[in-house]
Amino acid sequence: MKRLFVLFAFVFASVAVSAQTTDKAVASPEAAKLDSLAKLSQRFMNNNQPDSLYALMGATFKQNISPEKVKEVTGQLAGQLGKWVSLEPRGVQNGVARYKAVFALAAMDFYISRDKEGKIETFLFKQLQE
């Protein structure tokens, strides 16, 4: 009887974990794409590659922000905050993902969204709001 209970508990736990994993994957394919863009942005900022970061931007963003401005702003962020250490997802609302961007010296809210072509439309750092 004890073995049956242990087996049942194991099967139940496995099904519960599997269901949670599946729900997340099915529920948010857009979030996965935004996560990918956010991680690429982090990598390009940490490697001081503003041109590569700018290449991820969509037409609307590029109409408003020049490559020189992206280089200037990313340099200022790195100088003031240090290396971008981690990303913590905070949710997606109206197609805009919010993350807690943890830098070596401080944390910021980071917002990112995609345009119809899958390029970055929103790219914004703001003071952290817990």
Mean pLDDT across 53-69: 97
Does 11 fall in a domain? no
> Of the ranges 7-16, 79-88, 110-119, 120-129, which one carries the lowest mean pLDDT score?
7-16
Residue 28: predicted pLDDT:
77
Instruction: Answer yes or no: is 2 within a domain.
Output: no
The residue assigned the tokens 């981690």 is: 86
**pLDDT grade for 27, boundaries at 50, 70 and 90:** very low
**Total structural domains within the chain:** 1
pLDDT (mean) for 59-64: 96
Q: Which domain holds residue 84?
A: 29-127
Give percent of the chain above pLDDT 70.
79
Separation CA 28–CA 121 (nearest Å): 19
Please check whether residue 118 lies inside any domain of the structure.
yes
Stated pTM of the model: 0.78
- Residue-wise over 66-84: b if at least 16 C-beta within 10 A, else e? eeeebbeebeebbeebeeb
Please tell me the predicted confidence (pLDDT) of residue 63: 96
CATH code at 120?
3.10.450.50
